[in-house]
Structure 1
Amino acid sequence: MGLFSRKTDAETAGTPDAVATADLANLTGEYTIDPTHSEIGFSVRHAMVTTVRGQFTEYEGSLKLDGTKPANSSAELKIKVVSIDTNQAQRDEHLRTGDFFDAASHPEITFRSTSAEQVDAETYRMHGDLTIKDTTKPVSIDFTFNGSATDPYGNLRVGFEGATTVNRGDWGLTYNAALEGGGVLISDKVKLTFDVSAIKAA
């Protein structure tokens, strides 16, 4: 079974308001990420004992899917740094300063794919350039295809979940503090997560 031929729960259940689409030709095309039904998140170890999670709430992105030749697929994403949200206002303000993202001078984080590949029946790997604070580094993100469906408004949607782990120091995000008992306040490793719902262009 190919990447784009996985049946969704809606299809197997036969629900009339979410008709799943397994036709490769129907899935090939241009898509716009729907931010109201998507999430771009991150998590990082704090004080060596817990994990702080957050997300960016303002962004826009597009996908180009090729159901018959996945290597021709591509993606672009622009994230507003000021929209960072860790559910703690003081921490969010600190993250917007020059100690971290410097939102005033570098208002956007961008990702532009450079290549794509199908790894297995349900996994799609996107390679691309991630730019933070005017520093661009390559990253690879593994996505799981969650299926496709036509919503009650007639929009063809596809869903993907993805994740990758990066070293924040590679983009100049080096702020830290030593702990009295050893170790550091913030881990260098950051997990990025993507839960994407995208709508096919008419």
Structure 2
Amino acid sequence: MLKQTLAALALGSALLSAGQAMAADYAIDKEGQHAFVTFKINHLGYSFIYGSFKDFDGAFSFDAKNPDASKVKVSINTASVDTNHAERDKHLRSGDFLNVGKYPTATFASTSVKSTGSGTADITGNLTLNGVTKPVVIAAKFNGEGKDPWGGYRAGFEGSTTLKLKDFQIQKDLGPTSQEVQMIISFEGVRQ
């Protein structure tokens, strides 16, 4: 009986390892302009200010047959913020907002992925921004995967989340309509 139990455990472990091995590793394709980290925030209740981070890097693992085993990690150079307005960008880099002199990098590392429907999932992870680490949930959509014209293999996703500025010690009061910022992440990854 002990031998059968040990054999069953060994087989289960081998199958689990084989299932995990099926997940492929991808590098986010930022060089090919196929990845974006953007945001929008309400301006006085009348319009929105849109911006992006131009310098970031990341990687993910993904298996379409087992999406809940996926993982993602992204690192953002906060000084690369760009809202198409030099003075505003300078202010955003200051201690009133991103405090890039003290905290030059923001990171996101997933802790779990939970499928929510056909091609969608909630990605929970830890976001570190302005020296504060908080759990956030990104509502993600799988855009597709397949071979590219250059002999590689790609997978693409888009996701969004809403952050409360005060949760990340951004104390500058921009008025009642501007307490939150919506983050939108869109990227292709190249299989490694």
Q: TM-score range by the shorter chain?
A: 0.7 to 0.9
Structure 2 counterpart of 1:42: 39
- Partners of 2:57 and 2:163 lie apart in 1 by 22
Aligned residues: 172
Q: What TM-score results when the alignment is normalised by the length of structure 1? A: 0.80
Change (3 A) 1:33 1:63: same
Off by >3 Å, runs of 4+ in structure 1: none
2:23/2:70 contact within 8 Å kept: no
Structure 2 counterpart of 1:28: 23
- Partners of 1:78 and 1:164 lie apart in 2 by 16
Structure 2 counterpart of 1:192: 183
Report which structure shows greater RCO (CA 8 Å, sep ≥6): 1
- Partners of 2:138 and 2:172 lie apart in 1 by 25
| Secondary structure of 1:115 counterpart | strand
Which deviations, in whole Å up to 9, do the C-alpha atoms of 1:124-161 show, x marking residues without a partner?
Answer: 22100000121001100111111112111111111111
Shift of 1:47: 1.6
2:110/2:124 contact within 8 Å kept: yes
Identity of matched residues, %: 34
C-alpha RMSD of matched pairs (Å):
2.0
- Partners of 2:118 and 2:105 lie apart in 1 by 34
Structure 1: segments with no counterpart, 5+ residues: 1-24, 178-183
Letter matched to residue 26 of structure 2: Y
Q: What TM-score results when the alignment is normalised by the length of structure 2? A: 0.84
| Secondary structure of 1:119 counterpart | strand
Structure 2: segments with no counterpart, 5+ residues: 1-19
- Partners of 2:47 and 2:118 lie apart in 1 by 35
Which deviations, in whole Å up to 9, do the C-alpha atoms of 1:70-115 show, x marking residues without a partner?
Answer: 2221110000001000000100000001011111110000001011
Shift of 1:48: 1.8
